[in-house]
Amino acid sequence: MKTTTTLILAFLFAVAVGAQERFYYTTPYEGMQGDVERVSVKAYLVDFVDNKPVVNKRFSRTEISKFDENGLVYEKKLSVYAAFISMESKTTYEYEGKELQKRVLQRYAEGEKSILVLKCVERDDNGAVFENQTSIGKADTTYIRYDYDEQSMTSMSTKDMRTGSKFVTYYQDNREVKTEAYENGQLRSSQVKFYDPKDHNLAKMVVTQGDQTYTTEFKYTKFDDKGNWIEGEMTEDGLLRSVITRSIFYR
C-alpha cells in the first residue's frame, strides 16, 4: 500500500542575471526512513515584497526519482524553469548489485536534445573507469576511486581524464560531509555539510566559490509517521530563500 506525504525540503535555489544560472542543491534523500518507492520534489524560489516573503513561481524546480528495492535511484526526471529559460532531463541508472554500471542522461533545453551515456568499462577493488559518450560521438574517460575504512566508504574521487577536472567527496557515518572541486590541480569550490547530532538531519551547508561563501541553514517544523521531516525552510545568510514541497510514495 502506498502513502503520500507532502514535504517541504529546504535548499538554495538562486538564478543569476541573464542566461547564467546557479543552483546549490542538497539531495532530498539523505536520512529518509521507510521503504521508499518514489519521491516527487517541487521547489520554488522565495522573493521579498514589502519585506514579506513571496513564492516566485517563475523560478521552479521539479524532480521525480524512482527507487529500487535496494534504495538506489534507477530513474530521475528533472524540470527547471527560470523566467524565460527552461530545461528538462531524464536520467536512467543501471547497477550490478549496488555498483553503478551505466547512466544515460537525456537533456532537453531550448528546443534542443542531447544525450550523454556514462558506462563502466573497468572496475577493481579501488575504483572504476567510466567512458562518457555524447550524442555526437565524442568520448571521454572518467576515473572514479573509492576509499574505505573498516566499516564504510570514506571518500569518492572522480576525475575527468581529458580535462583533468576532479571532484572529491568525503563521507562520515554513510553521510556526505564535504565535496571539493578542482581544476588544473587548484581548488575551485567546496561544499561542507553539517548534521544535527540528535536527528541526523542536515542542519547547515557552507558553499565556497573563489572568494565568495554562501551559508545555508535548514529548519524542520513537521515530521511524518515514518520519522521523515515533512516541512522545513532554507535560509541563506539569515534570509529565507526557498521552500520545497515533496511527496513520498512508500511501498
Q: What is the count of structural domains for the chain?
A: 1
So what's the pLDDT on residue 49?
85
Q: How far is it, in rounded angstroms, from Cα 135 to Cα 78?
A: 19
C-alpha cell recorded at residue 151: 566499516
Tens-place pLDDT, residues 171-225: 888 788 999 999 988 999 999 999 988 878 889 999 999 899 989 888 887 788 8
Q: List the domain range (segments joined by +) for residue 176.
A: 4-250
What CATH number is associated with residue 246?
2.40.160
Q: What is the pLDDT of residue 28?
A: 55
Question: What pLDDT does residue 30 have?
Answer: 67
| pLDDT given at position 137 | 62
Local confidence pLDDT in tens for the 251 residues of the chain: 444 333 333 332 333 222 223 233 345 566 788 898 998 887 888 888 888 888 777 778 888 999 998 888 999 999 988 777 788 999 999 998 878 899 999 988 877 888 888 888 888 877 788 888 776 666 678 888 878 776 677 888 888 877 888 999 998 887 889 999 999 889 999 999 999 888 788 899 999 998 999 898 888 877 888 988 777 788 888 888 888 777 888 98
Which residues neighbour 116 within 8 Å (Cβ) at sequence distance 6 or greater?
A: 104, 105, 107, 132, 133, 134, 135
Written as one string, the DSSP assignment of 158-187 is EEETTT--EEEEEEETTEEEEEEEEETTEE
pTM summary value: 0.76
Model confidence over 223-238: pLDDT tens digits?
888 988 777 788 888 8
